Amino acid sequence: MSLPSPLSRSEMDRKLDEHFTYEARDDVEGVLATLTPDVEHDVVGWPTGPAQGRDGARPFYESLFADLSDGSATSLKRYYGDNFMVDESLWSGRATGHPFGLEGRDRPLAFRLLHIIEFAGDGNIKRENVWLDLASIMQQLPQD
């Protein structure tokens, strides 16, 4: 069995940028379409743990879009390998609901994210591993 040829940096950039664009639009179906049907979706520290498949990832995005608004992710640095990338991004927007279990009260919020993304041969995301700066989030959303 031969391995798929590696994606170019621009192909990986294009797919992750598409993923971020759908997130900025709160478009659950669009985000899920950037993932393989059997994706491993792991937001480290998320209470339910890693999810399998698009249907497993759906609740995370539904919750995220209910809790955060006017969001955008700006990539700060990307590192590339054969069919994977590491992306350091800055998310900024508003905490309108209860992001990460904290009372948002429609406050502005910005935090860094680290994504490790593995791509399938068709260019879709087959593994998404995300770490976020929860300490920064907690400082910005004090629970007084």
For residue range 100-129, list pLDDT tens digits in order. 999 999 999 999 999 999 999 999 999 999
The sign of the CA dihedral 24, 18, 38, 49 is negative
CA angle 109-111-119, nearest 5°?
125
Per the domain annotation, does 65 fall within a domain? yes
Per-residue pLDDT for 2 more than 80? no
- With respect to residue 16, please indicate whether it lies within any of the assigned structural domains: yes
The SS3 of residue 123 is coil
CA-to-CA distance for 35 and 67, rounded, in angstroms? 22
Give Cα separations from 117 to 5, 29, 107, 137 (angstroms).
17, 19, 29, 23
125 domain-assigned: yes
Classify residue 2: in a domain, yes or no.
no
pLDDT given for residue 144 in this prediction:
80
- Tally of structural domains, the chain: 1
First-to-last C-alpha distance (Å) of the chain: 58
Let me know if residue 51 belongs to a domain. yes
Domain annotation covers residue 1? no
Range(s) of the domain holding residue 22: 9-99+106-140
Please give the Cα distance from 106 to 104 (Å, whole number).
Answer: 5
Report the predicted TM-score, pTM, of the whole model to 2 decimal places. Answer: 0.93
Residue 10, classified by CB atoms within 10 Å of its CB into exposed (0-12), middle (13-18) or buried (19+), is exposed
Q: Confirm whether 4 is domain-assigned.
A: no
pLDDT digits (tens, 9 = 90+) for 86-99: 999 999 999 999 99
- pLDDT (tens digit, 9 = 90+) per residue, 24-48? 999 999 999 999 999 999 999 898 9
Beta bridge partner(s), residue 86: 79, 116
**Residue 3, domain member (yes or no):** no
Identify the pLDDT of residue 1. 53
CATH code, domain carrying 51: 3.10.450.50
